Amino acid sequence: MAVADSYLSVSQTAEPARRKRRGVRLSTIADHAILIAGALFMLVPVYLALTTASHEAVHIQREGLSFGFGDDLVKNFDAALFAKGGFTGAITGTTMLMNSFILGVGFAVGKIVLSMIAAYAIVYFRLRFATFAFWAIFTTILLPLEVRIVPSYEVIQGIGLTNTYTGLIVPLLASATGTFFFRQFFLSVPDELVEAARIDGAGPVKFFIDILVPLSRTMIAAIFIIMFVYGWNQYLWPTLITTEEGLFTLVRGIRQIIQAMAEGSQIPEYGRMMALAIIAMLPPVAIVILFQSWFVKGLVESEK
Amino acid sequence: MAKVSVSNLSKTYGKGNQAVKPCSFHIADGEFVVLVGPSGCGKSTLLRMIAGLEDITSGELRIGDRVVNDLDPAERDIAMVFQNYALYPHMTVAKNIAYGLKNRGTPAPVIEQKVREAADILNLTEYLDRKPGQLSGGQRQRVAMGRAIVRDPALFLFDEPLSNLDAKLRNQMRIEIRKLQRRLGVTSIYVTHDQVEAMTMADRIFVLNDGRIEQVGTPAEIYHKPASTFVASFMGAPPMNLLPGDYNGNGSVRLNEETTIRIAEPADHKGVVKLGVRPEDVSLAAPDDGVPFQIDVVEELGANRLLHGNLAGHPFTVSVGKESDATPGLAGLRIDPSAIHLFHPEEGRRL
């Protein structure tokens, strides 16, 4: 009886195990299929842009997007980076790259500095209307740039900042999102740390620079990624505020090339455009990769 | 090193909520004072007022010869150890310890030497390059101590520094802190809710209740001559037994129809009283000897046993040695008349 029992129990446990293993394999296949599909969905357009960028414009005009590599990859990238373009021929790919960088970095750094200072004031100082001020800032999340773009233009134009980097960057710096994130983070910093710093003789400025800023490193990295990419991809505002081609950013420049060429009743330089699109993509990717390692390190160390 | 004088110090929050009622006391140079009381009694507020982290509503605070009421914490020549260590997580141990000195503009070689000395005293030398996140709780607390001692302050303030440590480490750190304080001779104020810490560490204990200082005294005075029922029941584990009774004015207290207890010192109060007896001031006897005591539960603690039961209709606890063979049931109690405390029934003060 005891033998039979144990036999029974063995067969009972063995059966589900086998079924389970088969189930795992099936679900693994399904998982991977989904992952592969997702990866292809993301990567194929990039790959197509790259291969297409290696053909002559005439070829692209005739054949459309092509999967194979052509002979003109270097030539097209060279043109994208160094050939003069636009109506006036005042701008090259490198200048646009530089402009985009100035916009992206200026945007991210400016937003971080401004929103950290705002959050610092709201959280650490007994201001009479601090809560009201915070919610007033917070509600501006509901007002995206597009809503206020005409008055903003009016103001910038009025003080003569069109076609300047200042005009490009400053009006977009106030960030409710950044202020909100930093506020939440500062609220989670223990009061004891503030008190210890006070006893250690750190005034408000010292506390901010010596303690709060280093503590916020991971937060800063995260917001830098988001804001840099946001700034890099700005299209509408730069279009409105810059009319000189020397100030064009990459994202705008791509479109400018098709337009200029098409109006010139030539075949648009598709290869060069694709190359430019690839170039436009690289810096945000680099930034994400660079800051991600910081970000993960910060998460793992779990300071505070 | 300095003495601390407090006169009529009080703290009132916004809507007239008096967290610390006006109090006055002196702390001698090099003394170790423990503020003890239940949560919300105002002990931390009092400490934070001395530290300068809370504004003083009224009264005067002197550290050494200076009135420091309106000085910033950094200018009061104090150092504070916090409950959650409050170390700067992004700085190494050495930088944590040095930060206060750096802000004071101490020259770098001096800082380095002081940090080295402090680390040596606290056995932290090999951890100087680590970050607080890589240290254990006890080590972190030692870093916090190091940060306090490098400054050579006039006054150490401790805000429940051991409550985040496990029991064993707590005992160890208790002794370490006390040794360190003796060695450095720095006047110290230590806040805790743990009466064991208060008893074992203090030169003098201040027992606080509801924003008031109930009693000031050496640990022995506090334990053996509690000034009120609050102190009597707060200090000591298990707490003092408190029973209502009727004092006839000439040497005995009646608990009920059958039970009368003799007392040694007469009090000048007749009528209803609260009678207090510490669980260990009682000895167990045969059921027909002394006061009848109904034992309900026997708690084994190893070194001794606690007998929980009923005396004259009230809960009562007796502590007996491990050799006692008490079992639940009826027993008799002999109560040492000189160990009996009488308290006022409403005000709770000692009679």
Q: Which ipTM score applies to this complex?
A: 0.84
User: Looking at the domain assignment, is residue A63 inside a domain?
Assistant: no
Q: Which domain holds residue A11?
A: 2-52
State the average pLDDT over residues A41-64.
Answer: 85
Instruction: Tell whether A150 and A220 lie within a shared domain.
Output: yes
Amino acid at B101: L
User: Looking at the domain assignment, is residue A286 inside a domain?
Assistant: yes
Instruction: Tell whether A35 and A166 lie within a shared domain.
Output: no
Instruction: Tell whether A223 and A294 lie within a shared domain.
Output: yes
Instruction: Tell whether A167 and A38 lie within a shared domain.
Output: no
Instruction: Tell whether A217 and A288 lie within a shared domain.
Output: yes
Structural domains in chain B, sorted by start? 4-230 (3.40.50.300), 241-343 (2.40.50.140)
CATH classification at residue A135: 1.10.3720.10
User: Looking at the domain assignment, is residue A65 inside a domain?
Assistant: no
User: Looking at the domain assignment, is residue A62 inside a domain?
Assistant: no
Instruction: Tell whether A112 and A240 lie within a shared domain.
Output: yes
Worst-scoring range by mean pLDDT, A86-90, B5-9, B245-249? Answer: A86-90
Instruction: Report the pLDDT value the prediction gives residue B130, as an integer from 0 to 100.
Output: 93
Instruction: Tell whether A212 and A258 lie within a shared domain.
Output: yes
Of B51, B74, B90, which has the smallest distance from its Cβ to A200's Cβ? B74
User: Looking at the domain assignment, is residue A148 inside a domain?
Assistant: yes
Instruction: Tell whether A39 and A143 lie within a shared domain.
Output: no
- The total number of structural domains in chain A stands at 2
Instruction: Report the pLDDT value the prediction gives residue B312, as an integer from 0 to 100.
Output: 86
Which pLDDT tens digit goes with each residue over B330-350? 888 888 888 899 999 888 889
Predicted model pTM? 0.80
Calculated CA dihedral for residues A114, A115, A118, A120, nearest 10 degrees = -110
Instruction: Tell whether A45 and A167 lie within a shared domain.
Output: no
CB-based burial of residue B333 (10 Å sphere; 0-12 exposed, 13-18 middle, 19+ buried)?
A: buried
Instruction: Tell whether A8 and A117 lie within a shared domain.
Output: no
pLDDT tops 80 at residue A269: no
List of chain A residues whose C-beta atoms are within 8 Å of the C-beta of residue B72? 198
Q: Do A192 and B73 touch (CB under 8 A)?
A: no
Instruction: Report the pLDDT value the prediction gives residue A149, as an integer from 0 to 100.
Output: 86
Instruction: Report the pLDDT value the prediction gives residue A9, as an integer from 0 to 100.
Output: 44
Nearest-CA neighbor of B160 among B139, B174, B147, B146? B174
Q: Do A303 and B90 touch (CB under 8 A)?
A: yes
Instruction: Tell whether A95 and A209 lie within a shared domain.
Output: yes
Nearest-CA neighbor of A103 among A237, A6, A215, A199? A237
Instruction: Tell whether A123 and A252 lie within a shared domain.
Output: yes
Of A192, A202, A211, which has the smallest distance from its Cβ to B82's Cβ? A192
User: Looking at the domain assignment, is residue A68 inside a domain?
Assistant: no
Q: Do B74 and A217 touch (CB under 8 A)?
A: no
Check CB contact of B83 with chain A, cutoff 8 Å. Answer: yes
Nearest-CA neighbor of A193 among A217, A180, A210? A210
- Phi/psi of residue A5, nearest 5 degrees: -60, -50
Instruction: Report the pLDDT value the prediction gives residue A261, as an integer from 0 to 100.
Output: 56
